[in-house]
Structure 1
Protein backbone atom coordinates (compact mmCIF):
# COMPACT_ATOMS: atom_id res chain seq x y z
CA UNK A 1 0.00 0.00 0.00
CA UNK A 2 2.89 2.37 0.61
CA UNK A 3 4.00 1.96 -3.01
CA UNK A 4 0.41 2.59 -4.15
CA UNK A 5 0.32 5.79 -2.07
CA UNK A 6 3.46 7.10 -3.77
CA UNK A 7 2.09 6.21 -7.21
CA UNK A 8 -1.17 8.02 -6.35
CA UNK A 9 0.87 11.06 -5.38
CA UNK A 10 2.69 10.86 -8.72
CA UNK A 11 -0.67 10.86 -10.54
CA UNK A 12 -1.62 14.07 -8.73
CA UNK A 13 1.79 15.56 -9.55
CA UNK A 14 1.19 14.64 -13.18
CA UNK A 15 -1.97 16.76 -13.35
CA UNK A 16 0.00 19.94 -12.60
CA UNK A 17 0.88 20.76 -16.20
CA UNK A 18 -2.67 20.28 -17.46
CA UNK A 19 -4.04 22.49 -14.69
CA UNK A 20 -1.57 25.22 -15.60
CA UNK A 21 -2.41 24.91 -19.30
CA UNK A 22 -6.10 25.37 -18.54
CA UNK A 23 -5.42 28.34 -16.23
CA UNK A 24 -5.29 32.07 -17.02
CA UNK A 25 -2.73 33.23 -19.58
CA UNK A 26 -1.53 35.96 -17.21
CA UNK A 27 -0.27 33.43 -14.65
CA UNK A 28 3.52 33.19 -14.75
CA UNK A 29 5.36 29.94 -13.93
CA UNK A 30 7.24 31.42 -10.98
CA UNK A 31 4.12 33.09 -9.63
CA UNK A 32 2.12 29.89 -9.90
CA UNK A 33 4.91 27.98 -8.18
CA UNK A 34 5.06 30.39 -5.25
CA UNK A 35 1.28 30.36 -4.81
CA UNK A 36 1.18 26.59 -5.08
CA UNK A 37 3.70 26.10 -2.28
CA UNK A 38 2.02 28.69 -0.04
CA UNK A 39 -1.43 27.12 -0.38
CA UNK A 40 0.06 23.65 -0.13
CA UNK A 41 1.78 24.48 3.15
CA UNK A 42 -1.49 25.70 4.67
CA UNK A 43 -3.30 22.63 3.39
CA UNK A 44 -0.70 20.29 4.86
CA UNK A 45 -1.31 21.70 8.33
CA UNK A 46 -5.00 20.78 7.95
CA UNK A 47 -3.90 17.13 7.75
CA UNK A 48 -1.60 17.34 10.79
CA UNK A 49 -2.75 15.38 13.82
CA UNK A 50 -1.17 14.80 17.19
CA UNK A 51 0.62 18.14 17.52
CA UNK A 52 3.38 19.83 15.61
CA UNK A 53 6.24 17.73 17.11
CA UNK A 54 8.13 20.93 17.88
CA UNK A 55 10.65 19.21 20.15
CA UNK A 56 11.56 16.66 17.47
CA UNK A 57 11.64 19.40 14.84
CA UNK A 58 14.06 21.46 16.94
CA UNK A 59 16.21 18.40 17.52
CA UNK A 60 16.31 17.54 13.81
CA UNK A 61 16.40 21.10 12.49
CA UNK A 62 19.19 20.26 10.04
CA UNK A 63 16.98 17.77 8.20
CA UNK A 64 14.06 20.23 8.26
CA UNK A 65 16.27 22.94 6.78
CA UNK A 66 17.60 20.53 4.16
CA UNK A 67 14.11 19.58 3.03
CA UNK A 68 12.91 23.19 3.05
CA UNK A 69 15.79 24.28 0.85
CA UNK A 70 15.00 21.38 -1.48
CA UNK A 71 11.33 22.37 -1.71
CA UNK A 72 12.21 26.02 -2.32
CA UNK A 73 14.83 25.17 -4.94
CA UNK A 74 12.58 22.88 -6.95
CA UNK A 75 10.07 25.42 -8.29
CA UNK A 76 12.39 28.11 -9.72
CA UNK A 77 14.82 25.45 -10.90
CA UNK A 78 12.15 23.46 -12.70
CA UNK A 79 10.55 26.44 -14.42
CA UNK A 80 13.89 27.93 -15.40
CA UNK A 81 14.81 24.62 -16.99
CA UNK A 82 11.58 24.29 -18.96
CA UNK A 83 11.77 27.93 -20.08
CA UNK A 84 15.39 27.74 -21.29
CA UNK A 85 15.56 24.13 -22.52
CA UNK A 86 11.96 23.63 -23.57
CA UNK A 87 9.33 21.61 -21.77
CA UNK A 88 10.55 18.23 -23.04
CA UNK A 89 14.24 18.41 -22.23
CA UNK A 90 13.76 20.48 -19.07
CA UNK A 91 11.21 18.04 -17.68
CA UNK A 92 13.20 14.89 -18.32
CA UNK A 93 16.38 16.37 -16.83
CA UNK A 94 14.51 17.40 -13.69
CA UNK A 95 12.51 14.18 -13.28
CA UNK A 96 15.26 11.85 -14.41
CA UNK A 97 17.97 13.41 -12.27
CA UNK A 98 15.94 13.11 -9.05
CA UNK A 99 16.46 9.36 -8.55
CA UNK A 100 20.11 9.67 -9.56
CA UNK A 101 20.74 12.47 -7.07
CA UNK A 102 18.90 10.57 -4.33
CA UNK A 103 20.95 7.46 -5.02
CA UNK A 104 24.26 9.32 -5.00
CA UNK A 105 23.44 11.26 -1.82
CA UNK A 106 22.30 8.15 0.03
CA UNK A 107 25.31 6.20 -1.22
CA UNK A 108 27.46 8.93 0.31
CA UNK A 109 25.58 8.40 3.57
CA UNK A 110 26.43 4.70 3.54
CA UNK A 111 23.28 3.31 1.91
CA UNK A 112 24.18 1.32 -1.19
CA UNK A 113 21.75 0.71 -4.07
CA UNK A 114 21.17 -2.77 -5.40
CA UNK A 115 21.22 -3.84 -9.03
CA UNK A 116 17.40 -4.06 -8.94
CA UNK A 117 17.12 -0.34 -8.14
CA UNK A 118 19.60 0.53 -10.90
CA UNK A 119 17.71 -1.55 -13.49
CA UNK A 120 14.32 -0.13 -12.52
CA UNK A 121 15.61 3.44 -12.53
CA UNK A 122 17.28 2.93 -15.91
CA UNK A 123 14.07 1.59 -17.46
CA UNK A 124 11.96 4.40 -16.01
CA UNK A 125 14.37 7.15 -17.05
CA UNK A 126 14.72 5.72 -20.57
CA UNK A 127 10.95 5.54 -20.87
CA UNK A 128 10.62 9.07 -19.57
CA UNK A 129 13.03 10.30 -22.25
CA UNK A 130 10.91 8.74 -25.00
CA UNK A 131 7.73 10.00 -23.39
CA UNK A 132 8.60 13.67 -23.10
CA UNK A 133 10.35 13.89 -26.48
CA UNK A 134 7.27 12.34 -28.08
CA UNK A 135 5.25 15.36 -27.05
CA UNK A 136 7.58 18.15 -28.13
CA UNK A 137 10.35 18.62 -30.64
CA UNK A 138 13.00 21.23 -31.26
CA UNK A 139 14.67 21.08 -27.86
CA UNK A 140 17.44 23.63 -27.44
CA UNK A 141 20.48 23.68 -25.19
CA UNK A 142 21.09 26.26 -22.48
CA UNK A 143 23.62 25.94 -19.69
CA UNK A 144 21.44 28.04 -17.39
CA UNK A 145 18.44 25.87 -18.23
CA UNK A 146 20.41 22.68 -17.66
CA UNK A 147 21.58 23.91 -14.27
CA UNK A 148 18.01 24.91 -13.42
CA UNK A 149 16.61 21.46 -14.19
CA UNK A 150 19.43 19.75 -12.31
CA UNK A 151 18.73 22.04 -9.36
CA UNK A 152 15.09 20.91 -9.43
CA UNK A 153 16.13 17.25 -9.45
CA UNK A 154 18.53 17.79 -6.57
CA UNK A 155 15.93 19.76 -4.63
CA UNK A 156 13.37 16.98 -4.96
CA UNK A 157 15.92 14.38 -3.89
CA UNK A 158 16.91 16.44 -0.83
CA UNK A 159 13.26 16.75 0.20
CA UNK A 160 12.67 13.01 -0.17
CA UNK A 161 15.77 12.10 1.83
CA UNK A 162 15.11 14.68 4.55
CA UNK A 163 11.49 13.57 4.95
CA UNK A 164 12.50 9.92 5.25
CA UNK A 165 15.10 10.77 7.93
CA UNK A 166 12.61 12.87 9.89
CA UNK A 167 10.13 10.00 9.83
CA UNK A 168 12.83 7.61 11.08
CA UNK A 169 13.50 9.99 13.97
CA UNK A 170 9.92 10.09 15.20
CA UNK A 171 8.37 12.99 13.26
CA UNK A 172 5.04 12.25 11.59
CA UNK A 173 5.20 12.22 7.81
CA UNK A 174 2.61 14.98 7.44
CA UNK A 175 4.24 17.12 10.13
CA UNK A 176 7.58 16.74 8.39
CA UNK A 177 6.13 17.88 5.07
CA UNK A 178 4.17 20.73 6.66
CA UNK A 179 7.25 22.16 8.37
CA UNK A 180 9.40 21.87 5.27
CA UNK A 181 6.81 23.39 2.95
CA UNK A 182 6.07 26.22 5.38
CA UNK A 183 9.72 27.22 5.53
CA UNK A 184 10.07 26.69 1.78
CA UNK A 185 7.04 28.95 1.19
CA UNK A 186 8.67 31.67 3.27
CA UNK A 187 11.82 31.38 1.19
CA UNK A 188 9.78 31.87 -1.99
CA UNK A 189 7.50 34.57 -0.53
CA UNK A 190 9.32 37.43 -2.33
CA UNK A 191 8.05 36.01 -5.64
CA UNK A 192 4.50 36.83 -4.52
CA UNK A 193 5.43 40.52 -4.64
CA UNK A 194 7.57 40.36 -7.78
CA UNK A 195 5.38 38.30 -10.11
CA UNK A 196 1.93 39.48 -11.34
CA UNK A 197 -0.84 38.04 -9.16
CA UNK A 198 -3.95 39.59 -10.70
CA UNK A 199 -4.94 36.23 -12.16
CA UNK A 200 -5.86 35.04 -8.66
CA UNK A 201 -8.94 37.29 -8.77
CA UNK A 202 -10.29 35.36 -11.76
CA UNK A 203 -12.49 32.31 -10.98
CA UNK A 204 -10.38 30.10 -13.22
CA UNK A 205 -7.17 31.35 -11.65
CA UNK A 206 -8.38 30.78 -8.11
CA UNK A 207 -9.65 27.31 -9.00
CA UNK A 208 -6.30 26.45 -10.58
CA UNK A 209 -4.41 27.71 -7.52
CA UNK A 210 -6.57 25.68 -5.14
CA UNK A 211 -6.18 22.55 -7.25
CA UNK A 212 -2.42 22.95 -7.48
CA UNK A 213 -2.08 23.82 -3.80
CA UNK A 214 -4.54 21.45 -2.13
CA UNK A 215 -4.67 18.47 -4.50
CA UNK A 216 -1.30 18.50 -6.26
CA UNK A 217 0.63 19.58 -3.16
CA UNK A 218 -1.18 19.03 0.16
CA UNK A 219 -2.95 15.74 -0.60
CA UNK A 220 -0.17 14.52 -2.87
CA UNK A 221 2.54 15.04 -0.27
CA UNK A 222 0.42 13.52 2.50
CA UNK A 223 0.25 10.36 0.38
CA UNK A 224 3.92 10.64 -0.56
CA UNK A 225 5.00 11.13 3.05
CA UNK A 226 2.96 8.15 4.20
CA UNK A 227 4.57 6.05 1.50
CA UNK A 228 8.03 7.09 2.68
CA UNK A 229 7.37 5.32 5.98
CA UNK A 230 8.16 2.03 4.27
CA UNK A 231 9.84 2.99 1.00
CA UNK A 232 13.39 4.31 0.74
CA UNK A 233 13.82 7.84 -0.62
CA UNK A 234 15.70 6.82 -3.78
CA UNK A 235 13.04 4.19 -4.51
CA UNK A 236 10.29 6.77 -3.99
CA UNK A 237 11.86 9.24 -6.40
CA UNK A 238 11.95 6.50 -9.02
CA UNK A 239 8.30 5.59 -8.41
CA UNK A 240 7.29 9.19 -9.01
CA UNK A 241 8.54 8.85 -12.58
CA UNK A 242 4.93 7.75 -13.11
CA UNK A 243 4.28 11.49 -13.29
CA UNK A 244 5.21 11.92 -17.00
CA UNK A 245 2.93 8.99 -17.89
CA UNK A 246 0.02 10.74 -16.20
CA UNK A 247 0.92 14.04 -17.83
CA UNK A 248 1.00 12.42 -21.28
CA UNK A 249 -2.39 10.75 -20.84
CA UNK A 250 -3.98 14.01 -19.67
CA UNK A 251 -2.37 15.93 -22.53
CA UNK A 252 -3.88 13.53 -25.07
CA UNK A 253 -7.33 13.19 -23.49
CA UNK A 254 -7.88 16.68 -22.06
CA UNK A 255 -5.69 19.03 -24.09
CA UNK A 256 -6.07 17.14 -27.41
CA UNK A 257 -2.33 16.90 -27.87
CA UNK A 258 -0.88 14.11 -30.02
CA UNK A 259 1.67 11.61 -28.74
CA UNK A 260 3.97 9.76 -31.15
CA UNK A 261 4.07 5.97 -31.07
CA UNK A 262 7.45 5.93 -29.35
CA UNK A 263 5.90 8.01 -26.58
CA UNK A 264 3.60 5.12 -25.74
CA UNK A 265 6.61 2.79 -25.85
CA UNK A 266 8.23 5.12 -23.33
CA UNK A 267 5.15 4.99 -21.12
CA UNK A 268 5.35 1.19 -21.22
CA UNK A 269 9.01 1.27 -20.16
CA UNK A 270 8.16 3.54 -17.23
CA UNK A 271 5.36 1.20 -16.13
CA UNK A 272 7.70 -1.80 -16.48
CA UNK A 273 10.35 -0.09 -14.39
CA UNK A 274 7.84 0.89 -11.72
CA UNK A 275 6.40 -2.62 -11.61
CA UNK A 276 9.89 -4.06 -11.19
CA UNK A 277 10.69 -1.65 -8.39
CA UNK A 278 7.30 -1.81 -6.71
CA UNK A 279 7.36 -5.58 -6.59
CA UNK A 280 10.57 -5.54 -4.64
CA UNK A 281 9.85 -2.60 -2.39
CA UNK A 282 9.61 -4.76 0.69
CA UNK A 283 12.30 -5.36 1.52
CA UNK A 284 13.50 -2.10 -0.03
CA UNK A 285 15.96 -2.45 -2.91
CA UNK A 286 18.74 -0.97 -0.78
CA UNK A 287 21.25 -2.69 1.41
CA UNK A 288 21.47 -0.51 4.48
CA UNK A 289 24.86 -0.07 6.08
CA UNK A 290 25.60 2.06 9.08
CA UNK A 291 26.39 5.67 8.40
CA UNK A 292 27.72 6.00 11.95
CA UNK A 293 31.19 4.72 12.48
CA UNK A 294 31.52 1.87 14.89
CA UNK A 295 27.86 0.92 14.73
CA UNK A 296 26.77 -2.49 13.58
CA UNK A 297 23.15 -1.61 12.90
CA UNK A 298 21.86 -1.05 9.42
CA UNK A 299 20.24 2.26 8.57
CA UNK A 300 18.20 2.37 5.35
Structure 2
Protein backbone atom coordinates (compact mmCIF):
# COMPACT_ATOMS: atom_id res chain seq x y z
CA UNK A 1 0.00 0.00 0.00
CA UNK A 2 2.93 2.34 0.66
CA UNK A 3 4.20 1.62 -2.85
CA UNK A 4 0.79 2.55 -4.27
CA UNK A 5 0.96 6.15 -3.00
CA UNK A 6 3.82 7.07 -5.35
CA UNK A 7 1.69 8.22 -8.29
CA UNK A 8 -0.67 10.24 -6.11
CA UNK A 9 2.26 11.96 -4.40
CA UNK A 10 3.69 12.97 -7.77
CA UNK A 11 0.29 14.17 -8.99
CA UNK A 12 -0.14 16.39 -5.91
CA UNK A 13 3.40 17.78 -6.16
CA UNK A 14 4.97 20.44 -8.38
CA UNK A 15 4.11 20.22 -12.08
CA UNK A 16 7.78 20.18 -13.15
CA UNK A 17 8.72 17.00 -11.26
CA UNK A 18 10.19 14.53 -13.76
CA UNK A 19 9.42 10.86 -13.15
CA UNK A 20 13.08 9.88 -13.61
CA UNK A 21 14.28 12.60 -11.23
CA UNK A 22 11.65 11.67 -8.66
CA UNK A 23 12.58 8.00 -8.95
CA UNK A 24 16.26 8.74 -8.43
CA UNK A 25 15.62 11.03 -5.45
CA UNK A 26 13.33 8.38 -4.01
CA UNK A 27 16.14 5.82 -4.00
CA UNK A 28 18.79 8.30 -2.82
CA UNK A 29 16.74 9.50 0.19
CA UNK A 30 15.09 6.20 1.04
CA UNK A 31 18.31 4.29 0.48
CA UNK A 32 20.21 6.71 2.72
CA UNK A 33 17.69 6.10 5.51
CA UNK A 34 17.82 2.34 5.07
CA UNK A 35 21.59 2.44 4.73
CA UNK A 36 21.79 4.30 8.01
CA UNK A 37 20.42 1.18 9.65
CA UNK A 38 23.78 -0.45 8.96
CA UNK A 39 25.23 1.77 11.68
CA UNK A 40 22.94 0.24 14.30
CA UNK A 41 22.17 -3.19 12.83
CA UNK A 42 24.54 -6.05 12.15
CA UNK A 43 23.89 -9.23 10.18
CA UNK A 44 23.55 -12.25 12.48
CA UNK A 45 26.25 -14.34 10.89
CA UNK A 46 25.62 -15.16 8.24
CA UNK A 47 25.66 -18.91 9.01
CA UNK A 48 26.32 -21.48 6.31
CA UNK A 49 23.52 -21.42 3.71
CA UNK A 50 20.72 -23.90 4.46
CA UNK A 51 19.83 -26.75 2.14
CA UNK A 52 17.14 -24.64 0.46
CA UNK A 53 19.68 -22.05 -0.64
CA UNK A 54 20.20 -24.07 -3.81
CA UNK A 55 22.02 -22.36 -6.66
CA UNK A 56 23.04 -19.37 -4.48
CA UNK A 57 24.97 -21.51 -2.00
CA UNK A 58 28.38 -20.64 -3.41
CA UNK A 59 27.69 -16.92 -3.92
CA UNK A 60 29.27 -14.78 -1.16
CA UNK A 61 26.97 -12.50 0.81
CA UNK A 62 28.80 -9.39 -0.43
CA UNK A 63 28.25 -10.45 -4.06
CA UNK A 64 24.55 -11.02 -3.38
CA UNK A 65 24.25 -7.51 -1.90
CA UNK A 66 25.89 -6.02 -5.01
CA UNK A 67 23.59 -7.99 -7.32
CA UNK A 68 20.51 -6.90 -5.36
CA UNK A 69 21.58 -3.25 -5.28
CA UNK A 70 22.21 -3.21 -9.04
CA UNK A 71 18.73 -4.66 -9.56
CA UNK A 72 17.23 -1.88 -7.40
CA UNK A 73 19.04 0.76 -9.48
CA UNK A 74 18.06 -0.90 -12.78
CA UNK A 75 14.36 -0.99 -11.85
CA UNK A 76 13.85 2.80 -11.88
CA UNK A 77 15.00 3.72 -15.44
CA UNK A 78 13.57 0.48 -16.86
CA UNK A 79 10.16 1.17 -15.32
CA UNK A 80 10.08 4.77 -16.54
CA UNK A 81 11.26 3.74 -20.01
CA UNK A 82 8.24 1.46 -20.20
CA UNK A 83 5.72 4.03 -18.96
CA UNK A 84 7.16 6.67 -21.31
CA UNK A 85 7.14 4.51 -24.45
CA UNK A 86 3.98 2.44 -24.04
CA UNK A 87 1.96 4.52 -21.57
CA UNK A 88 1.61 4.65 -17.80
CA UNK A 89 -1.18 2.10 -17.49
CA UNK A 90 0.21 -0.46 -19.93
CA UNK A 91 3.79 -0.01 -18.70
CA UNK A 92 2.69 -0.45 -15.10
CA UNK A 93 0.63 -3.52 -15.97
CA UNK A 94 3.57 -5.20 -17.69
CA UNK A 95 6.11 -4.29 -14.97
CA UNK A 96 4.01 -5.10 -11.91
CA UNK A 97 2.18 -7.98 -13.53
CA UNK A 98 5.38 -9.68 -14.67
CA UNK A 99 7.28 -9.18 -11.37
CA UNK A 100 5.57 -12.04 -9.46
CA UNK A 101 6.07 -14.33 -12.46
CA UNK A 102 9.79 -13.53 -12.72
CA UNK A 103 10.17 -13.86 -8.95
CA UNK A 104 8.44 -17.23 -8.84
CA UNK A 105 10.48 -18.60 -11.75
CA UNK A 106 13.75 -17.33 -10.26
CA UNK A 107 12.88 -18.78 -6.88
CA UNK A 108 12.00 -22.08 -8.53
CA UNK A 109 15.38 -22.18 -10.27
CA UNK A 110 17.33 -21.19 -7.16
CA UNK A 111 15.53 -23.31 -4.57
CA UNK A 112 14.61 -26.13 -6.98
CA UNK A 113 11.10 -26.09 -5.49
CA UNK A 114 7.93 -25.12 -7.35
CA UNK A 115 6.28 -22.11 -5.60
CA UNK A 116 3.04 -24.06 -5.29
CA UNK A 117 -0.45 -24.32 -6.71
CA UNK A 118 -1.82 -21.59 -4.43
CA UNK A 119 0.81 -19.10 -5.67
CA UNK A 120 0.20 -20.07 -9.29
CA UNK A 121 -3.57 -19.61 -9.11
CA UNK A 122 -3.41 -16.42 -7.03
CA UNK A 123 -0.79 -14.84 -9.30
CA UNK A 124 -2.75 -15.58 -12.47
CA UNK A 125 -5.90 -14.14 -10.88
CA UNK A 126 -4.04 -11.05 -9.61
CA UNK A 127 -2.39 -10.33 -12.97
CA UNK A 128 -5.82 -10.60 -14.60
CA UNK A 129 -7.14 -8.16 -12.02
CA UNK A 130 -4.38 -5.65 -12.82
CA UNK A 131 -5.28 -5.89 -16.51
CA UNK A 132 -8.96 -5.25 -15.70
CA UNK A 133 -7.99 -2.34 -13.46
CA UNK A 134 -6.24 -0.50 -16.28
CA UNK A 135 -8.39 -1.65 -19.20
CA UNK A 136 -9.50 1.16 -21.46
CA UNK A 137 -7.26 3.77 -19.85
CA UNK A 138 -4.68 3.68 -22.61
CA UNK A 139 -6.82 3.24 -25.70
CA UNK A 140 -4.94 3.41 -28.96
CA UNK A 141 -1.48 2.88 -27.44
CA UNK A 142 1.02 1.36 -29.85
CA UNK A 143 3.16 -1.32 -28.25
CA UNK A 144 6.75 -0.17 -28.65
CA UNK A 145 9.36 -2.98 -28.42
CA UNK A 146 11.79 -0.85 -26.40
CA UNK A 147 9.06 0.22 -24.00
CA UNK A 148 7.80 -3.33 -23.63
CA UNK A 149 11.34 -4.52 -23.00
CA UNK A 150 11.85 -1.80 -20.40
CA UNK A 151 8.74 -2.82 -18.47
CA UNK A 152 9.74 -6.49 -18.59
CA UNK A 153 13.24 -5.58 -17.40
CA UNK A 154 11.67 -3.68 -14.51
CA UNK A 155 9.63 -6.74 -13.57
CA UNK A 156 12.72 -8.94 -13.76
CA UNK A 157 14.78 -6.46 -11.70
CA UNK A 158 12.11 -6.45 -9.01
CA UNK A 159 12.17 -10.23 -8.96
CA UNK A 160 15.97 -10.30 -8.61
CA UNK A 161 16.23 -7.99 -5.61
CA UNK A 162 13.22 -9.59 -3.91
CA UNK A 163 14.84 -13.00 -4.25
CA UNK A 164 18.27 -11.73 -3.17
CA UNK A 165 16.71 -10.20 -0.07
CA UNK A 166 14.95 -13.47 0.73
CA UNK A 167 18.18 -15.45 0.34
CA UNK A 168 20.08 -13.07 2.65
CA UNK A 169 17.33 -13.28 5.28
CA UNK A 170 17.28 -17.08 4.96
CA UNK A 171 21.03 -17.09 5.59
CA UNK A 172 20.42 -15.36 8.91
CA UNK A 173 20.69 -11.65 8.09
CA UNK A 174 18.33 -9.29 9.89
CA UNK A 175 15.55 -8.03 7.52
CA UNK A 176 16.27 -4.37 8.36
CA UNK A 177 20.00 -4.90 7.80
CA UNK A 178 19.26 -6.62 4.49
CA UNK A 179 17.20 -3.71 3.16
CA UNK A 180 19.77 -1.26 4.49
CA UNK A 181 22.58 -3.00 2.65
CA UNK A 182 20.70 -3.29 -0.66
CA UNK A 183 19.22 0.19 -0.73
CA UNK A 184 22.18 1.94 0.90
CA UNK A 185 24.41 0.75 -1.93
CA UNK A 186 21.68 1.52 -4.48
CA UNK A 187 21.45 5.08 -3.09
CA UNK A 188 25.14 5.67 -3.79
CA UNK A 189 24.75 4.38 -7.34
CA UNK A 190 21.63 6.55 -7.90
CA UNK A 191 23.31 9.86 -7.03
CA UNK A 192 24.71 10.40 -10.58
CA UNK A 193 21.28 9.59 -12.03
CA UNK A 194 19.63 12.16 -9.77
CA UNK A 195 22.21 14.85 -10.55
CA UNK A 196 21.64 14.29 -14.27
CA UNK A 197 18.02 15.50 -14.00
CA UNK A 198 16.43 18.91 -13.38
CA UNK A 199 16.11 19.14 -9.59
CA UNK A 200 14.79 22.69 -9.32
CA UNK A 201 11.51 21.28 -8.02
CA UNK A 202 13.35 20.48 -4.79
CA UNK A 203 13.63 24.23 -4.05
CA UNK A 204 9.88 24.45 -3.35
CA UNK A 205 8.00 23.42 -0.21
CA UNK A 206 5.75 21.08 -2.22
CA UNK A 207 8.80 19.56 -3.89
CA UNK A 208 10.51 18.85 -0.57
CA UNK A 209 7.28 17.33 0.78
CA UNK A 210 7.00 15.02 -2.26
CA UNK A 211 10.67 14.01 -1.99
CA UNK A 212 10.32 13.22 1.71
CA UNK A 213 7.15 11.20 1.14
CA UNK A 214 8.77 9.21 -1.67
CA UNK A 215 11.96 8.62 0.30
CA UNK A 216 10.50 7.95 3.74
CA UNK A 217 7.11 6.32 3.11
CA UNK A 218 7.33 4.66 -0.32
CA UNK A 219 10.92 3.47 0.12
CA UNK A 220 12.24 3.35 3.70
CA UNK A 221 9.01 2.37 5.49
CA UNK A 222 7.73 0.26 2.58
CA UNK A 223 10.87 -1.83 2.25
CA UNK A 224 11.28 -2.28 5.99
CA UNK A 225 7.79 -3.79 5.95
CA UNK A 226 8.64 -5.75 2.82
CA UNK A 227 11.72 -7.16 4.54
CA UNK A 228 9.66 -8.19 7.54
CA UNK A 229 7.24 -9.91 5.19
CA UNK A 230 10.04 -11.80 3.48
CA UNK A 231 11.06 -13.24 6.85
CA UNK A 232 7.82 -15.25 6.91
CA UNK A 233 6.87 -15.57 3.24
CA UNK A 234 8.49 -16.91 0.12
CA UNK A 235 9.80 -14.27 -2.30
CA UNK A 236 7.20 -15.33 -4.86
CA UNK A 237 4.25 -14.85 -2.49
CA UNK A 238 5.59 -11.52 -1.20
CA UNK A 239 5.99 -10.30 -4.77
CA UNK A 240 2.43 -11.34 -5.65
CA UNK A 241 0.97 -9.66 -2.57
CA UNK A 242 2.58 -6.35 -3.60
CA UNK A 243 0.13 -6.28 -6.51
CA UNK A 244 -1.88 -4.35 -3.92
CA UNK A 245 0.14 -1.41 -5.25
CA UNK A 246 -2.01 -0.74 -8.37
CA UNK A 247 -5.13 -1.42 -6.31
CA UNK A 248 -4.07 1.25 -3.79
CA UNK A 249 -3.11 3.67 -6.57
CA UNK A 250 -6.51 3.27 -8.22
CA UNK A 251 -8.41 3.87 -4.98
CA UNK A 252 -6.34 6.96 -4.14
CA UNK A 253 -6.95 8.30 -7.63
CA UNK A 254 -10.66 7.83 -7.07
CA UNK A 255 -10.75 9.38 -3.59
CA UNK A 256 -8.12 12.13 -3.82
CA UNK A 257 -7.61 12.99 -7.49
CA UNK A 258 -11.20 12.85 -8.69
CA UNK A 259 -10.52 10.06 -11.15
CA UNK A 260 -13.31 7.71 -12.16
CA UNK A 261 -13.21 3.94 -12.22
CA UNK A 262 -15.16 2.11 -14.89
CA UNK A 263 -17.00 -1.13 -14.30
CA UNK A 264 -14.04 -3.24 -15.47
CA UNK A 265 -11.67 -1.30 -13.21
CA UNK A 266 -13.93 -1.86 -10.22
CA UNK A 267 -14.00 -5.55 -11.10
CA UNK A 268 -10.18 -5.48 -11.21
CA UNK A 269 -10.07 -4.05 -7.66
CA UNK A 270 -12.24 -6.92 -6.42
CA UNK A 271 -10.21 -9.54 -8.30
CA UNK A 272 -6.85 -8.28 -6.95
CA UNK A 273 -8.21 -8.20 -3.40
CA UNK A 274 -9.50 -11.76 -3.85
CA UNK A 275 -6.10 -12.95 -5.11
CA UNK A 276 -4.33 -11.42 -2.11
CA UNK A 277 -6.79 -13.12 0.24
CA UNK A 278 -6.04 -16.43 -1.50
CA UNK A 279 -2.31 -15.89 -0.85
CA UNK A 280 -2.55 -14.95 2.82
CA UNK A 281 -5.10 -17.57 3.91
CA UNK A 282 -3.30 -20.56 5.55
CA UNK A 283 -4.55 -23.26 3.19
CA UNK A 284 -4.21 -26.96 4.10
CA UNK A 285 -0.84 -28.48 3.31
CA UNK A 286 -2.36 -30.66 0.58
CA UNK A 287 -3.09 -27.53 -1.49
CA UNK A 288 0.58 -26.67 -1.68
CA UNK A 289 2.01 -28.71 -4.49
CA UNK A 290 5.72 -28.72 -5.06
CA UNK A 291 6.49 -28.82 -1.31
CA UNK A 292 6.27 -25.05 -0.90
CA UNK A 293 7.78 -23.59 2.24
CA UNK A 294 5.67 -23.77 5.41
CA UNK A 295 5.65 -19.97 5.72
CA UNK A 296 4.45 -19.45 2.14
CA UNK A 297 1.11 -17.72 2.30
CA UNK A 298 0.80 -18.06 6.06
- Answer yes or no: same fold by TM over 0.5: yes
Q: How far apart are the structure 2 equivalents of 1:238 and 1:279?
A: 14
- After TM superposition, the structure 1 = structure 2 runs for residues 1-300 of structure 1, keeping only pairs within 5 Å, are 11-45=1-35, 50-53=40-43, 56=46, 59-109=60-110, 110-280=112-282, 287=290
Q: How far apart are the structure 1 equivalents of 2:77 and 2:113?
A: 29
What is the TM-score of this pair, normalised by structure 1? 0.88
Q: Is the 8 A contact 1:135 1:259 kept in 2?
A: no
- After TM superposition, give the deviation of residue 187 of structure 1 in Å: 2.2
- After TM superposition, give the deviation of residue 134 of structure 1 in Å: 4.7
**SS at the partner of 2:242?**
helix
CA deviation map 1:154-185 (0-9, x unaligned): 11111110011100111111111111112112
Q: How far apart are the structure 1 equivalents of 2:276 and 2:74?
A: 26
Corresponding pairs, count: 283
CA deviation map 1:117-153 (0-9, x unaligned): 1110010000000102254433221111011101110
Q: How far apart are the structure 2 equivalents of 1:75 and 1:149?
A: 10
Q: How far apart are the structure 2 equivalents of 1:39 and 1:223?
A: 17
Q: How far apart are the structure 1 equivalents of 2:81 and 2:44?
A: 34
**SS at the partner of 1:113?**
coil
Q: How far apart are the structure 1 equivalents of 2:222 and 2:118?
A: 26
Q: How far apart are the structure 1 equivalents of 2:288 and 2:266?
A: 27
Q: Which structure 1 residue ranges, 5 or more long, are not aligned?
A: 1-10, 291-297
- Could you say if the C-alpha distance between residues 282 and 155 of structure 1 is closer, same or farther in structure 2, counting changes exceeding 3 Å? farther
What is the TM-score of this pair, normalised by structure 2? 0.88
Q: Name the Cα RMSD after superposition.
A: 2.5
Q: Which structure 2 residue ranges, 5 or more long, are not aligned?
A: 48-58
Q: How far apart are the structure 2 equivalents of 1:177 and 1:285?
A: 29
- Could you say if the C-alpha distance between residues 190 and 281 of structure 1 is closer, same or farther in structure 2, counting changes exceeding 3 Å? farther
